[in-house]
Every structure is written in structure tokens, then in C-alpha cells.
């Protein structure tokens, strides 16, 4: 059995479990707050934000698992950046009041690390599956995605210069999403083809024509009839 497949399965299971726990916990707290079963507080708010941070980071990590198990260095770096982003957000959530004058600089660091980690994650997630296939489409999607990220980063950091050209921003998001789904569909088709080829070449299966299959099926039925006819004789 392929060790990398075992490791991938274990990673997917671990990350998925963390995501599931975060979703259930966040939903439970949200429902309790909604029906006034518990009173809102800064502590609960921090817990909710922390759960959402881990949940979002987990989703991006799932996208990086193929690259990590394949030993892709950029993919491993992207996964590390996602974890680093989550840690930085958790620090901001719980100890922001202690950062003092360093808080503004810390916000810049978080935005840069987070946006870079997301961009790398998107790039490597597609490249691992597609390689150089549809490379121009990939590049176009990455550029649109990067521009949208840049605008969002500027807004978060208090600079609205780029958002003034909101039509370009919206167009970039629409194009990026459209190309993203095109690449996702193409990636699934390629993955399916690869699985079929792997099965055909595994040695555990053989490929026969439909005519050969029908002939074998008919032969099995003929032999079964012969056996059924002989059974009463053998039992006498």
C-alpha cells in the first residue's frame, strides 16, 4: 500500500475532524446566544472568532494536503503560511489590547501573511492537479484573484484608493470566480482520467471488449445450467 495515500488519508481525517468540531461548537454557541440561553460577553465573542479562524484555516489546509503529501515545497510553504496566519489572528483576537503601538504594524503583518497564504494556496491547489494544462487560464485567474486581494488589503488597512475603481474590482472577482470553477471542473476531469488509467494499469483488472464480455457471460450461464442439471443425479 502506498504510504503517501495513508498519510494523506490521515491528514484529511484530522483536519476534517477539527473543522467539524469548530463548526459544531460555533453553531452551539450561536444558538445559545440567539435564544438568550447564555448572555453575550467578550469571552464568548473571542471564542466564536477563534472557532471561525480555525475553521477557515482548516478549509484552506484541506486544499494544500495534496501538495504537502506530494512533497511540493511551495505547497508545504503555503500550508505553513496558513497556519501562521491562523496563529496571528488568534493572537490578535486574544491579546490585541496588549499590543499597544505595535498593533497597527501587527495588522499589516496579518493582512500581508494572510493574503499571501490564500493566494499561494489557490495557485498550488490548481497547479498540483493541472500542471501546465490551461496555464493561460490559470495565470488570468491568479492575476484577477491577486488584484481583488490587493483591493481588499488596502481597504482593511484603511486605504480606499483602489476601491474607488470598484467596477474593476467587481469585474476581477467575477472573472476570478468564473475561471476558478472552470479550472475546478477541468481538474476533476483530469483526476477521474488518472484514476481510470491507474486502475487499468494496476494489474488487478483486465480490459476486454463488450463482445468478449457477452461471450463469457453466456458461457457462465451455460455451465451453470449444466451444473444444475447434474445436481439431482449426484444426489441420488
Distance CA 14, CA 136 (A): 35
User: What are 152-189's pLDDT values in tens digits?
Assistant: 887 777 776 667 777 888 898 898 888 888 888 887 77
Mean pLDDT of the chain: 77
Count the residues in the chain: 236
Query: Using 50, 70 and 90 to split pLDDT, how confident is the model at 2?
Result: very low
**What residues contact 17, with CB distance under 8 A and at least 6 apart?**
none
Are 178 and 148 contacting, i.e. CB atoms less than 8 angstroms apart?
A: no
Query: Using 50, 70 and 90 to split pLDDT, how confident is the model at 206?
Result: low
Lowest mean pLDDT, pick from 29-38, 83-92, 203-212: 203-212
Query: Using 50, 70 and 90 to split pLDDT, how confident is the model at 216?
Result: confident
Distance CA 99, CA 97 (A): 6
User: What are 49-62's pLDDT values in tens digits?
Assistant: 888 888 888 888 87
Domain boundaries, the chain: 1-114, 131-229
User: What are 23-38's pLDDT values in tens digits?
Assistant: 888 888 888 777 776 6
Which of these, 82, 103, 90, lies nearest to 47 by C-alpha position? 90
pTM here?
A: 0.66
Amino acid at each position: 500500500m502506498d504510504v503517501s495515500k495513508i498519510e494523506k488519508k490521515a491528514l484529511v481525517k484530522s483536519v476534517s475532524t477539527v473543522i467539524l468540531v469548530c463548526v459544531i461548537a460555533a453553531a452551539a454557541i450561536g444558538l445559545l446566544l440567539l435564544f438568550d440561553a447564555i448572555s453575550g460577553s467578550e469571552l464568548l465573542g473571542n471564542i466564536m472568532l477563534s472557532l471561525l479562524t480555525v475553521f477557515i484555516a482548516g478549509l484552506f489546509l484541506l486544499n494544500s494536503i495534496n501538495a504537502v503529501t506530494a512533497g511540493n515545497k511551495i505547497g508545504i510553504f503555503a500550508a505553513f503560511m496558513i497556519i501562521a496566519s491562523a496563529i496571528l489572528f488568534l493572537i490578535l483576537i486574544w491579546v490585541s489590547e496588549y499590543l499597544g503601538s505595535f498593533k497597527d504594524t501587527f495588522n499589516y503583518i496579518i493582512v500581508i501573511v494572510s493574503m499571501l497564504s490564500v493566494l499561494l494556496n489557490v495557485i498550488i491547489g490548481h497547479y498540483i492537479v493541472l500542471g501546465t494544462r490551461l496555464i493561460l487560464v490559470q495565470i488570468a485567474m491568479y492575476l484577477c484573484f491577486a488584484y481583488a486581494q490587493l483591493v481588499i488589503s488596502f481597504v482593511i488597512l484603511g486605504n480606499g484608493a483602489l476601491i474607488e475603481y470598484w467596477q474593476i474590482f467587481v469585474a476581477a472577482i467575477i472573472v476570478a470566480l468564473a475561471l476558478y470553477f472552470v479550472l475546478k471542473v477541468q481538474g476533476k476531469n483530469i483526476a477521474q482520467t488518472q484514476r481510470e488509467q491507474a486502475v487499468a494499469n494496476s494489474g488487478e483488472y483486465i480490459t476486454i471488449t463488450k463482445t468478449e464480455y457477452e461471450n463469457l457471460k453466456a458461457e457462465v450461464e451455460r455451465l451453470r445450467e449444466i451444473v444444475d442439471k447434474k445436481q439431482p443425479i449426484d444426489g441420488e
